[in-house]
Structure 1
Amino acid sequence: MRGRSAPAVLPPPLRVGVGLIAALAALVVAVLGALYAGDGKPGVVDARVRAAVDDVGPSWRHVALAVDFLGEPGGAATLVVVLVTGCLLLRCPRAAVLAVVGVGMSVGTATLLKSLVGRTIHDGNLSYPSGHTAFLTALALVVALLASGRLGLGGTAGTSLVLAAALVAGAAMGWAQVALDAHYPTDVLGGWCTALAVIPATAWVVDRVADRRVVRVADAGRREPR
């Protein structure tokens, strides 16, 4: 039907709860960035967490490498294509846009923050926040928001699903990055929070832009001569 709006990618019942999580996540990113700016060594928390996951066996290292691949260009592109295709098959174009723009913004923000914060690991490689963790968390958030909307979940249930999905994805990729000694644990936390801050904000923008377009189309239809 002409002028009909597609389902919101950030369902109205979730906006308050997810918005509060996003604001808290942005604060954590800023605090950690300021705390570790220009640093090149692990903090106390980093050292303790790394000791707990240190010396993973060969089999677990293979698992960590497999998870890490999901954040590499080839693996990441494949996951995004699969998610976008799924969104389009479900006739959720806004979610498809979020899968591209939101995930891209999350990774782009993490990359920009690395240059601004200047924290390093292993021969000067920029490390804060973890782009791999930001990517997989962002992807999981898009899936959770899509599922919440499709299932018609209320604020509490939907927000819980979104947070749970983010926790699972962030924990999986975060463990891999720490186990492979590619990032400090606080880098992982920063990457996780980056996605939690960026995806809801991007989803809100996608909905606003799409809703305005629907209104413009509807107004143009009413002005057409009968």
Structure 2
Amino acid sequence: MTGRSAPAVLPPSLRGWLGPIAALAALVVVVLGVLYADDSKPGRVDARISAALDGVGPPWRHVALALDFLGEPVGAATLVVALVTGCLLLRRPRAAVLLVAGVGMTVGTATLLKSLVGRTIHDGNLSYPSGHTAFLTALALVVALPATGRLGLGRTAGTLLVLAAALVAGAAMGWAQVALGAHYPTDVLGGWCTALAVIPATAWLVDRMADRPVDRMADAGQRERR
């Protein structure tokens, strides 16, 4: 018996590019974390962007609130359950595992970083990085990665699709968080980069662990034929 037990969630064609991108994203997270550690006020760039986006009125405020709800426990759980169910119905168990593990690792990493960095907003609320932004970006990535493999896209097209999905999701949630005054823009960037760093690594780990039993069976079959 040879081959994979299920389609890879991290297409081999993307590994060469997403690895360095994930490393760069992790570096950005660390640099911003060091710059804004124990801070409680916006930076110069934060102030300019926030001034343009903060305090939006209807109907855009309703849109921002709806996006924000997707990052709250009830909204987030509903999205994850719906997508996991879809993966199972499509017989993509590895994608379902990535959804749960990838989103969990991303949110857990963002939560840990908040405690380590200690940046605050509005009466001491920990703000860096934005967990809402990290969550929705992670969700977009774990959907886009398997879709890239299933569509058979090459390295360039596949990478562009994955990054575009992450950018759209991150920009939408990031705008909502800044518009509602819940986060500084650099918090949003940190959340986006957190997902971009964690998801490719988690996808690689899911593939590696899922392929081990198949590889062992293949090795056993080769030994028997000898």
Q: Is the pair's TM-score, using the shorter chain for normalization, greater than 0.5?
A: yes
Q: Which residue of structure 1 lines up, in the alignment, with residue 203 of structure 2? A: 203
Identity of aligned residues (%): 85
Gapped regions of structure 1 (runs ≥ 5): none
One-letter amino acid of the structure 1 residue matched with residue 91 of structure 2: R
Q: Is the contact made by 1:119 and 1:126 (CA closer than 8 Å) also made in structure 2? A: yes
Change (3 A) 1:215 1:175: same
Number of the residue aligned with 1:129: 129
**Which range moves more in the overlay, 164-173 or 79-88?**
79-88
What's the CA shift string for 1:129-172, capped at 9, x where partnerless? 00000000000001110110110110000000000000000000
Superposition map of 1:54-203 within 5 A: 54-203=54-203
AA at the equivalent of 1:84? V
CA contact (8 A) 2:55 2:180 kept: no
8 Å CA contact retained: 2:2, 2:215:
no
Which residue is equivalent to 2:49? 49
Give the direction of change, closer, same or farther, for the CA distance of 1:4–1:203 in structure 2 (3 Å limit).
Answer: closer
Whether the 8 Å CA contact 2:55–2:181 is kept in 1: the answer is no
> Aligned letter for 1:133?
T
Query: Equivalents in 2 of 1:133, 1:158: separation in Å?
Result: 22
Report the equivalent of 2:36: 36
Question: Per-residue CA shift, 1:51-98, capped at 9, x if unaligned?
Answer: 111231121111100000000011101110111111112222111101
Could you tell me whether the CA contact under 8 Å between 1:33 and 1:117 is conserved in 2? yes
Write the letter of the residue equivalent to 1:150: R
Quick one: distance in 1 between partners of 2:80 and 2:125? 26
Paired residues of 1:118 and 1:128 also in contact (CA < 8 A)? yes
Deviation at 1:22, TM superposition (A): 0.6
TM-score, normalised relative to structure 1: 0.95
RMSD value, Cα: 1.7
2: CA distance between counterparts of 1:196 and 1:93? Answer: 22
Q: Matched residues in 2 for 1:161 and 1:222: separation? A: 39
Q: Amino acid of the residue matched to residue 79 of structure 2?
A: L
For residue 19 of structure 1, report the CA deviation from its aligned partner. 1.2
Find the residue that maps to 1:195 and give its secondary structure. Answer: helix
In 2, Cα distance between the equivalents of 1:39 and 1:217?
A: 54
Q: Which moved more, 1:133-142 or 1:14-23?
A: 14-23
Distance 1:207 1:134 in 2: 22
Per mean C-alpha deviation after superposition, the further-off stretch among 14-23 and 100-109 is 14-23
Counterpart-to-counterpart distance in 2, 1:221 and 1:88:
29
Give me the TM-score of the superposition, normalised by structure 2: 0.95
What number of residue pairs does the alignment pair up? 225
Question: Gapped runs of 5+ residues in structure 2?
Answer: none
Code of the aligned partner of 2:169: A
* Cα offset, 1:210, TM superposition: 0.8
Contact between 1:10 and 1:203, CA under 8 Å: does it hold in 2? yes
Counterpart residue identity of residue 180, structure 1: L
Deviation at 1:17, TM superposition (A): 1.2
**Once the 2 structures are TM-superposed, how far is the Cα of residue 125 of structure 1 from its aligned partner?**
0.5
